[in-house]
Amino acid sequence: MNQVLDLVGIFVFALSGALVGVRRRLDVVGMAVLAEMTALGGGILRDLILNVRPAAFSSVGYVLVPVAATVIVFFWHPQVERVMPAVNVLDAAGLGLFCAVGTE
């Protein structure tokens, strides 16, 4: 269950990163880089500071989820942009969830 919530949070963060790529008129590769860095950058940095192997390097799902978010934004960015206010609320909830899970 913990990993599922982790991947849901990563998906939401990746949506945000990919949408920034659309707004900056980047191609799909640039969108994917932004999605990956937005979704995984903080967790990787945290794990490196804690001197543990980053969780993002332990499963291919951590790479595929941001790619899936990028594909969704690439093809349906007007629809994703429309629901972004709700996604931002979920994004804030996900951040709080990551904080709670991280303190475990």
Q: What is the pLDDT of residues 19-28, one digit of tens each?
A: 999 999 999 9
For residue range 40-51, list pLDDT tens digits in order.
998 899 899 999
- Asked if residues 18 and 69 have their Cβ atoms less than 8 Å apart, the reply is yes
- Residue 32: CB partners within 8 Å, gap ≥ 6? 18, 21, 66, 67, 70
**Enclosing H/E stretch for 26:** none
Which pTM does this prediction carry? Answer: 0.85
Q: Which two tokens stand for residue 16?
A: 């945000």
- Residue 81: CB partners within 8 Å, gap ≥ 6? 19, 22
98 or 62: whose pLDDT is higher?
A: 62
